[in-house]
Structure 1
Amino acid sequence: GDIIVPAYAWASERRAVVLSLDTLQAAGIDKVAGDVMCKRCDGPGSVEVGVAAGFAAVSNYFVTHRDTMHDRAPKCWTSPRLLDCSLCLQTDCVKPVIHAKKRHINWLFLLLTQTLGLCTLDQLKYFCKHTRRHRTGAKDRVLYLTYVGLLKQLHPAGHYD
């Protein structure tokens, strides 16, 4: 069935669907966390991201650059900069842990950290399939549709088309 046990407090009971900003705010959820791993020292960790600031950054970037994207994700989304490691102090080396089971992927964390581009094409197609979005084409196109889909889930009244 389409109803699942949400893997995160900010996920809904539907696959690949996150709660809206209004619902998150009403529930007192202003931060989301995600598991991360350093590629250099293999150090595991967890990172918290502010929902409002993270959403504003992604939404503003999208609205500002939408006309030049031509329905394709830009390089900063297809090859995202990674986080810095607080353990080994190296830069651009900490990546989110993307769960092997697609229903457990932390979509909101990946959106807010703008690291959805680290997902495989298969994982992105899963998102598009369960959110009834077109899912054929090159990875940069499917990635673009994933960003648009998540922005619309968070802010249904937003102009993301």
Structure 2
Amino acid sequence: MATNSNEIDNNLLTLSLSFPPPPVVAPPPPPPPPPSSRRPSKRKRTLKSETIPPPYPWATNHRAKVHSLNMLRLNQISTITGEVQCRRCERKYEIGFDLCDKFAQVGSFISANKELMHQRAPSIWMNPIYLNCKFCEQENSVKPIIASKKKSINWVFLLLGQFIGCCTLDQLKYFCKYNEIHRTGAKDRVLYQTYLSLCRQLDNTGPFYY
């Protein structure tokens, strides 16, 4: 009987060794962390410098700021030049405006029509009358060339030629931003504010307040 018992034990041991061990089951991964309630931080804008190299002799080293008439006279600046281009023949060239004569014309127009404007630019400012081309002689075809970089816009030249209406609304808002002027609203209102602000920079004693 003992022999049979030993044989049974040996057979059981042999059977147990013939089966592979049970596989090792990896523990489940931890649950993902809950979503953060904080918004992703936005990239900080690079602050523009307060001063720039003056783009023109009649401009200051501040964005969208020009010298006064008195300062320009002291510096013997009497002609304001700017680049233009004909829409017909596409020729580009430079023209000059007499500072005192042209500014007097703009000032007289504002003085005579300010009450009728109701703080909105008139049609002649919204749709400027262009010059005649000195090459192909096409009438009302020469437009000012406006700098692609806003800090280089020739504001005094545009004012004297009454060409500021050629600027986009975005360019006008740039001017208002750096002159602390409320810059929301339609283009005719922002354009009106730009004209009067430029005139005040040149002559703060004139009828250029609203």
Q: TM-score range by the shorter chain?
A: over 0.9
Question: Which amino acid in 2 is paired with 1:88?
Answer: C
CA distance in 2 between counterparts of 1:112 and 1:133 reads: 21
Paired residues for 1:5-154 under 5 Å:
5-154=53-202
* Secondary structure of the corresponding residue to residue 100 of structure 2: helix
Question: Which amino acid in 2 is paired with 1:115?
Answer: F
User: Gapped runs of 5+ residues in structure 2?
Assistant: 1-48
| Structure having the higher Rg | 2
Structure 1 residue runs of 4 or more that deviate by more than 3 Å after TM superposition? none
Deviation at 1:160? 1.2
Deviation at 1:28? 0.1
Q: What TM-score, normalized by structure 1, do the two folds share?
A: 0.99
CA distance in 2 between counterparts of 1:128 and 1:70 reads: 19
Q: Relative CO higher for 1 or 2, CA cutoff 8 Å, sep ≥ 6?
A: 1
Range with greater deviation from structure 2 (150-159 or 102-111): 150-159
- Asked if 1 retains the 8 angstrom alpha-carbon contact of 2:50 and 2:62, the reply is yes
Deviation at 1:24? 0.3
CA distance in 1 between counterparts of 2:208 and 2:71 reads: 19
- Asked if 1 retains the 8 angstrom alpha-carbon contact of 2:110 and 2:207, the reply is no
Deviation at 1:158? 1.9
Question: Which amino acid in 2 is paired with 1:142?
Answer: V
Q: What TM-score, normalized by structure 2, do the two folds share?
A: 0.76
CA distance in 1 between counterparts of 2:208 and 2:93 reads: 33
User: Gapped runs of 5+ residues in structure 1?
Assistant: none
* Secondary structure of the corresponding residue to residue 15 of structure 1: coil
Instruction: Name the count of aligned residue pairs.
Output: 161
Aligned to 1:160: 208
User: CA-atom RMSD, angstroms?
Assistant: 0.5
Question: Which amino acid in 2 is paired with 1:100?
Answer: S
Question: Which amino acid in 2 is paired with 1:116?
Answer: I
